[in-house]
């Protein structure tokens, strides 16, 4: 009679008794993971950077719209779209933008997301009705996908097919990702893929945006949203109407910081010059007009009351105008217009 064999019992190992890899091996594994080439830092030495050659920066509108993403913000109905259309036509025809800036001719894509074909035709007719043939290189789109939903890929395909010098998105609200995320990170993430693509493709992209209702000491603080928007783009412009007229403020990585007095006449924007110089000239003209209409010399207080300007500003201007020979001083602190020779 054979002895009945009892079945083997497989004991579960106690985790406490299970041998573990040595700490040394564990550290080595972590070290290997950290030094993986997938997440390695790529560098360039200063000497290599010094000898590297880059193609010249390309502008769609010299001094204003360079390759990359530019934000143009302003209050509703101030004329942002008219300025964008002026840029578009100037590039598409190779003519002047803002009344004085010569542009190199090239295709343009204008995404007019708050318009339809009828409104676009009416606006074009108002400005360019006497032009025999509107430029075939100026293309309009009234519907596009949103950022984060395929727009960057769509633009990349269109840019590869048409090689435009300028792309305009009017307005940012029409392409902004529909997300519940808010704050700096969300605003930066919304525009950074567009900025990256624009740099890769070497094309200038202008995005139209709004200003908040709240005033600010810095015009760029009035741009709706957080500083994530201005941080993500290459340049930003603010079109702002103040007591002394409309000023175009510009700031960016590849443009000179500017404050230009601009004027909107007949649907067309024109640059008048440096804002400080233009406003000063306007104030000088106003002072001369008051003095020429007076029957006797006037003091700073009387001129201030006539113009409704700060007395300290008037005193400074009177001093400069007297020095420049524009006005004459008669008696103590009293002025009259200079007599023509």
User: Dmax of the chain from CA atoms?
Assistant: 146
pLDDT in tens, 277-291: 887 777 888 888 888
Query: Worst-scoring range by mean pLDDT, 28-37, 77-86, 186-195?
Result: 28-37
Question: Looking at residue 252, what is its pLDDT?
Answer: 94
| pLDDT for residue 270 is more than 70 | yes
Query: Worst-scoring range by mean pLDDT, 17-31, 85-99, 237-251?
Result: 17-31
Distance linking the first and last C-alpha atoms of the chain: 146
Instruction: Show the tokens assigned to 105.
Output: 């001719």
Question: Looking at residue 27, what is its pLDDT?
Answer: 47
| pLDDT for residue 11 is more than 80 | no
197: phi then psi, degrees, rounded to nearest 5: -65, -40
| pLDDT for residue 8 is more than 60 | no
**Rounded mean pLDDT, 289-303:** 88
Distance of CA 233 to the CA centre of its chain: 7
Angle between helices 151-162 and 184-201 (to 10 degrees): 20
* Residues whose CB falls within 8 Å of the CB of residue 323, separated by 6 or more in sequence, listed in order: none
85 near 43, Cβ under 8 Å?
A: no
- Give, for 167, the enclosing helix (H) or strand (E): strand 166-170
pLDDT in tens, 82-91: 999 999 999 9
pTM: 0.75
Cα pseudo-dihedral 49, 52, 58, 63, rounded to 10: 50
Angle between helices 311-323 and 275-293 (to 10 degrees): 80
Beta strands 101-102 and 96-97, pairing class: antiparallel
Beta strands 68-74 and 235-242, pairing class: parallel
Question: Looking at residue 5, what is its pLDDT?
Answer: 52
């Amino acid at each position: 009679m054979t002895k009945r064999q009892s079945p083997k019992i497989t004991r579960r190992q106690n985790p406490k008794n299970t041998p573990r890899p040595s700490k040394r091996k564990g550290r080595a594994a972590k070290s290997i993971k950290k030094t993986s080439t997938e997440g390695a830092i790529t560098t360039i030495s200063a000497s290599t950077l010094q000898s590297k050659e880059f193609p010249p920066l390309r502008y769609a509108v010299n001094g204003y719209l360079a390759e990359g993403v530019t934000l143009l913000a302003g209050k509703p109905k101030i004329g942002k779209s008219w300025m964008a259309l002026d840029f578009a036509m100037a590039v598409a025809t190779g003519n002047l933008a803002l009344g004085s800036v010569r542009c190199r001719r090239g295709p343009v894509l204008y995404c007019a997301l708050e318009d339809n074909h009828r409104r676009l035709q009416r606006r074009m007719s108002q400005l360019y009705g006497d032009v025999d043939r509107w430029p075939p290189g100026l293309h309009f789109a009234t519907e596009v996908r949103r950022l984060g939903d395929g727009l960057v890929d769509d633009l990349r395909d269109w840019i590869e097919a048409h090689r435009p010098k300028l792309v305009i998105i009017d307005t940012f609200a029409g392409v902004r990702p529909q997300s519940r995320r808010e704050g700096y990170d969300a605003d930066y993430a919304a525009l950074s893929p567009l900025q990256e693509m624009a740099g890769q493709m070497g094309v200038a992209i202008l995005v139209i945006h709004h200003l908040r209702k709240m005033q600010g000491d810095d015009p760029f603080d009035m741009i709706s949203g957080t500083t994530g928007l201005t941080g993500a783009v290459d340049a930003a412009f603010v079109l702002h109407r103040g007591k002394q007229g409309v000023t175009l403020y510009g700031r960016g990585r590849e443009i000179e910081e500017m404050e230009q007095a601009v004027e909107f006449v007949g649907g067309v924007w024109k640059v008048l010059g440096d804002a400080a110089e233009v406003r000063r000239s306007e104030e000088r003209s106003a002072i001369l007009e008051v003095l020429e209409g007076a029957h006797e010399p006037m003091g700073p207080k009387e001129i201030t009351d006539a113009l409704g300007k700060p007395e300290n500003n008037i005193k400074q201007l009177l001093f400069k105008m007297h020095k420049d020979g524009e006005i004459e001083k008669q008696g103590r602190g009293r002025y009259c217009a200079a007599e023509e020779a």
